[in-house]
Amino acid sequence: MRPHRYIVSMNTLRVAAVAMLLTAMTSGMACLMIESAKPRPTPTRADRSFELNAPRMMRGTIAAEGVLLGYNPVILRGWGLVVGLNGTGSRNVPPMLRAHMISEMARRGIGRASSGFDHIQPEAMLDSLDTAVVIVEGVLPPGAVGRQVRRGVALDGTKFDVRVYAEPSSGTESLEGGILYTTELRPMAPGEILPPTGSRQAAGVASARGAIFVNPFATGANARTDRPDPTVGRILNGGEATRELPLKLRLATPSHAKAETVQNAINTRFPREPGQAEPTAHGENSEVIRITVPVSWRSRPDDFVELLRHTTIRQSGAEAVANSIKRALVADPGYAHAASWRWEALGNRSLPTVKTLYDLPDEIPRLAALRAGARLGDPLVIPHLLEMAESPNAATRREAVELLEDTRFDPRVDHALRQRFSDEDIDVRLAAYEAQIRRADPLIVRHNLGGRFVLDIVESEFQMIYVTQVGQPRIAVFDPELSLKQPTLVDAWDGRLIVKSQADTDEVEVYYRPEDGRDRLIVSADPRLEEFVRFLAHTTTVEHPAPGLAFSYSDTVGTLYQIWRQRQIPGDFKAEQDRVLAAIQRQRQGVEIQVRPEFSDPEYDEFYPVADPEGPAAEATSLSDPTAILPPPSLKE
């Protein structure tokens, strides 16, 4: 039995040895395979679409991973037609432009019975002195939302102001009292000064229409003589986006995983809102993420873009991120602007850190913290801002006013802002007024004058008239007791308007001769500015028989300015900065605002095809829409 056992054992050993040998060989081959395997590739310079050199403060943010396409505002222009000029227009139109205008007018229905405008032909309108060919231009903000119909309900597109001026060679005398027909606005190519015509036009992305406000202040070619230029005007909120110009985030290092991470971070910070067609961030591919401006941010697209850029990708550990921002800011106060936005982008989770800086002696980091705290609605900022509002430095007071505007309802805040209505610095005074308008201060008396403009009456120790040139047309009278001087004598517009009174009366006599040949008016009015402005704007009807001149916003502002220039209204006369003109001038000079470079990017070709003269865009702003155009008055030859 022993030899047999031995034989079995030897066989077993042989099998074991073979197994061990195979195992060793396999292990050796595995080792060879491991040793020869190439390391996992890491992103290199060649893998990147472009380089981003993010500063220390911006590391870990959306801005450190890519660039926003469509962030720059868009300069738009177009050729338009103004009607209702009472003989101050021009029939002198260059031949190529005339052909373009006739084609556009015919395309939009003028001269066709089907559109209701068969009573006049395009050629006749251009040959009338009651019309003028004009250039219309405006600045479309980033992330603009186009006009659309959703579930049978029409939703307005993004509104913006437009500037209107007569074609340079036309000889038009004045645009006063004119109405702009619906005009299609198109993006301008770099270097273009005048809107192109024909096949050279880009596709339209907005339209403009409405009554023209002619600035009564020194502007345009006549600025050196301190005389207003009547051939230049604007339409407040007269522009409307008709197509969406999306924002797109392009990643520096394309990757599906990274695109998904960034997309999730954006949608966590800006969740989809009611009325929002798609999520805020929607990945199109491994490199491009489409951005939709949320509904609640559409009136503040610039703020949305800043918060988006400063959003932290890693959503966990917000407190640790807030503290790292604090350390970087204290070490280098030059990061103040970015730090404030980064804290706000983190949301309320950053407040425990931000609060620790409210009492910091170093003013720059302290202001950055207060700015973030105010925007995040922290009530603890209010005592600090109220103290700032009493500072002897006007710039500090204005900063406090602007930050207090963002705080929640608090009687202390409203009281402090109302005190600034009587600030000795006029800019602080106006900042406080604008802040309280946005906070809907019930103590500011508001009159809606025929839907044409708003008259605000503000309690103040300083007498002043303030008029807006952007957004909603408004006239603000500081000091309810502000009145025309007594006695008074004003002669304006070559004798068409005369205002006079004696020293011992509480009324003024107004003589007005309309330009259109209607009967002259001689009526009495209250000299108090609150009532006098209401008289200028009032339209006399059977239901409201009180006398009035039915003036437009432009006419009313022009009248007040003429009376003030003749020193018959005490105090200051202040106009809001013409931001439309300022933005366009910066664009022409290549400063700050530039034509969007991505217009040549294939991602944006859909917005910049050559316009089809007979295509569907022609119907988008059809003049057959009675709300889009007003019929022309009788035309003077």
Rounded Cα distance between 432 and 442, Å, is 14
580 or 338, higher pLDDT: 338
Whether 282 has a pLDDT exceeding 90, the answer reads: yes
Beta bridge partners of 284: none
Least confident of 18-32, 184-198, 228-242, 471-485: 18-32
More confident residue, 560 or 599: 560
Provide the pLDDT for residue 397. Answer: 94
The three-point CA angle 379-383-386 to 5° equals 115
Q: Among 125-129, 272-276, 439-443, 520-524, where is mean pLDDT lowest?
A: 272-276
User: Is residue 263 over pLDDT 60?
Assistant: yes
- pLDDT tier for residue 50 given thresholds of 50, 70 and 90: low
Q: Are 181 and 82 in contact (CB under 8 A)?
A: yes
Contacts of 61 by beta carbon, 8 Å cutoff, 6+ apart? 54, 309, 310, 311, 312, 313, 342, 345
The DSSP letter of residue 203 is P
Contact 556, 563 (CB under 8 A): no
Q: Say if residue 587's pLDDT is above 80.
A: no
Which tokens sit at 188? 């301008």
pLDDT at 507 > cutoff 80: yes
Q: Is 291 helix (H, G, I), strand (E, B) or coil?
A: strand
- Mention every residue, 6+ apart, whose C-beta is less than 8 A from residue 527: 483, 484, 486, 488, 501, 506, 507, 508
CB 456 within 8 A of CB 476: yes
User: pLDDT digits over 172-205, tens only?
Assistant: 998 988 999 999 998 876 666 677 776 666 778 8
- pLDDT score of 242 more than 60: yes
- The yes-or-no verdict on residue 511 having pLDDT over 60 is yes
* Residue 226 DSSP SS3: coil
pLDDT value at 501 more than 60 = yes
Q: How many angstroms separate the Cα of 339 from the Cα of each of 54, 159, 303, 358, 486?
A: 14, 31, 15, 14, 56
Cβ(185)–Cβ(138) below 8 Å:
yes
What pLDDT digit, counting tens, does each position of 69-115 carry? 877 778 899 999 999 898 899 999 889 889 889 888 888 777 766 65
Q: Closest by alpha carbon to 458, among 578, 571, 551?
A: 571
- The pTM (predicted TM-score) of the whole model is 0.71
Residue 46 pLDDT grade (very low, low, confident, very high; cuts 50, 70, 90): very low
Question: Pick the residue with more confidence: 250 or 154?
Answer: 250
Highest mean pLDDT among 17-21, 254-258, 582-586: 254-258
The pLDDT of residue 191: 63
Q: Are 179 and 89 in contact (CB under 8 A)?
A: no
Strand partners, 447: 455
pLDDT for 49 equals 57
Which residues 6+ apart lie within 8 Å of 181 measured at CB?
80, 81, 82, 83, 209, 623, 629
What digits encode the pLDDT tens for the residues 308-339?
A: 999 999 878 889 999 999 999 999 999 999 99
H or E element that contains 478: strand 474-478
Between 591 and 289, where is the model more confident? 289
- The pLDDT score that the predictor gives to residue 5 is 38
Once rounded to an integer, what is the mean pLDDT over residues 249-275?
92
Specify the higher pLDDT residue, 14 or 169.
169
Q: Check residue 295 and give its pLDDT.
A: 83
Which tops the pLDDT comparison, 487 or 72? 487
Average pLDDT over residues 21-43: 41
pLDDT recorded at residue 579: 61
Instruction: List helix spans (H) across 197-253.
Output: none
Mean pLDDT of 362-370: 92
Give residue-wise pLDDT tens across range 379-427.
999 999 999 999 999 999 999 999 999 888 889 999 999 999 999 999 9
Task: Reduce the secondary structure of 395-452 to three states and give it as a string.
Answer: HHHHHHHHHHCCCCCCHHHHHHHHHHHHCCCHHHHHHHHHHHHHCCCCCCEEEEECCC
Q: Which of 438, 144, 434, 142 is nearest to 302 (CA)?
A: 142
Alpha helices, H only, 244-300? 256-269
Q: Pull the structure tokens for residue 130.
A: 């009651």
The closest alpha carbon to 367, from 380, 354, 352, belongs to: 354
Confidence of residue 614 (pLDDT cuts 50, 70, 90): very low
If pLDDT is split at 50, 70 and 90, which confidence band does 549 have? Answer: very high
Packed helices 363-375 and 318-331: angle between N→C axes, nearest 10 degrees: 150
Tokens found for residue 367: 């202001």
Work out the pLDDT band at 261, boundaries 50, 70, 90: very high
Q: Which of 413-427 are b and which e, b meaning 16 or more Cβ less than 10 Å from the residue's Cβ?
A: bbebbbebbbbeeee
- The reported pLDDT for the residue numbered 227 is 53
- Interval 533-560 mean pLDDT: 91
The token pair that represents 10 in the structure block: 């030897």
Mean per-residue pLDDT for 603-611?
39
Q: Does residue 373 register a pLDDT over 60?
A: yes
Of the chain, the percentage scoring pLDDT greater than 70 comes to 76
Q: Which helix (H) or strand (E) holds 100?
A: helix 95-107
